[in-house]
Structure formats: C-alpha cells, structure tokens
Structure 1
Amino acid sequence: MNNVASILILAFLAISFIQSGYDKLFYWKDNLEWLKEHFSKTPLKNHVGLALLHILVLELISGILCVVGCIELVINNGRLFGFYGAVFSCITLIMLLFGQRLAKDYDGARTIVIYFIPAVMAVYWLN
C-alpha cells in the first residue's frame, strides 16, 4: 500500500466529522442551547441555528467524502474523493476556527488548529 498515511488521515477526519455531525443531528437542541450562550456576545447571536445547520451539512459532506476517499484509495489508488474530503474538511475547520475566534474562545480555536494540520497535509498529499 502506497497511501497508508493518506488513508489514516482520511479515516481520522471521517471519524471526527461523522461523529461530530451525528452529535449535532441527534442532540440538536442541546447543541443549539450551548451555542446560543457561546455566541451571545457576537454578531452571530441571532443566526446560531442557521450557522449550526451549515456546519452540520459541511461536517457530514466532509466525513462522507473522506470515507469514500479511503475506499477509493484502497480499491484503485484514486485520490479524487479523498482530495475533496480533505478540502471540505479544511473549509469546515476554517469556519469553526472563525466562530471560535469571534466568540473569543482561544482554547477552542487552538484545538481546531490541531485538526487543521493533518487536514492540510491530506490536501497536499492527495493533490
């Protein structure tokens, strides 16, 4: 296997985003309440529900593309779906980072950077 590192990073991203999307989908009300408080002093305070929906959709798209990318790499060394999964992961993480910085949650923003590094590595390797 020539793509072990790419497969491992795509699996990491897939698990991270699918689990996060699952959590948002099945615990919507709890997430929404917490986020409304989290963003209560930001310009997003009246748009938290819509922002949460956008993040949910992007996380699910990212996770699904990463799963398909793993399968594609294993079956025929194809990189297209993995590449798009990594790109969508980066876009999603940038949006999450923006929200954390806007809310002045610098510890949360720092955590997102930890996820962003392997996502960018995947974009580079799969390009």
Structure 2
Amino acid sequence: MESILNIATELLLLLFLIITFVQSAMDKMLDWKGNVSWLEGHFKETPFRNRVPLLLATVLITEIVAGILCLVGFYMLCTGGENTLALAGAVVACLALLMLLLGQRIAKDYDGARTIAIYFIPTVFLVFLLQ
C-alpha cells in the first residue's frame, strides 16, 4: 500500500484523464449527429467548416486512445509500478487537448479555449511527473 501512496498524485491525475476522455468519447459516439450539427454551426465561419465530421472523428479516435492508454497505464502503475503506458496516455491526452484548443482558437471561442487550457495544465503536470 505504501507504494500506491507514493504515486497518489499520478493515479489521481490519471483518473482525471480517464473520466475526461472516456466520457467525452462516449458523448461523441452516443450523439454523433448532435455533435456534428453543433460543431458545423460553431465552425461555419472558419476554414474547418467543410471538414467537421473528419475532424470530429480524429478527435474521437485520439480521445479513445488517450482514455485506453490512461486506463491501462493506471492498472500497470498500480500493479507493477510501470509507467510507460500512463506516460503515453498523458502525452496523447495533451495532443487531444491541443487539437481542441486549436479548434476553439480558430472558431474565436476564447472562453472555450480558456477551458481547454485549464484541462491542459494538470495533463502537462502528469507528463512531467511520469518522466
């Protein structure tokens, strides 16, 4: 139990990312049409306007990969102290957040971009802790 307490911060941050990305991916899959419709309006005045389904699919795949890597990494960190997959998950999560940030900035949704930045801070911190 002592070893798990030594990595409590890493485990809590991984749980944060698992919840964030698994829920986000599930939302996209369960309401694909609603998400595409909303995003088409969000990006109607941007260069992304004709690529919304492709871009949404790219983000969805990245979120699924991040969530799975974080989940498996959480398990591996708990059971054997191995952090390679947890680190990979955190890095992929950073990439997903950077994609989302780019979209918000292109759409000139600065409040949305600020929200993404709030998620990015603990994610980068996790990358730092796992290196």
Distance 2:90 2:37 in 1: 30
TM-score (norm 1): 0.99
- TM-score by structure 2 length? 0.96
RMSD (CA atoms): 0.5
Between the two proteins, what is the percent identity of the paired residues?
Answer: 49
2:65 matched residue in structure 1 = 61
Name 1:99's counterpart in structure 2: 103
Count of paired positions:
127
What is the aligned partner in structure 1 of residue 29 from structure 2?
A: 25
CA displacement 1:32-61 (0-9 Å, x = unmatched): 000000000000000000000000000000
Which amino acid counterpart does residue 8 of structure 1 have in structure 2? Answer: L
Which residue in 2 is equivalent to 1:116?
120
In structure 2, stretches of 5+ residues that fail to align are: none
Segments ≥4 residues shifted beyond 3 Å: none
**Cα deviation digits, residues 88-114 of structure 1 (max 9, x gap):** 000000000000000000000000011
SS in structure 2 opposite 1:46? coil
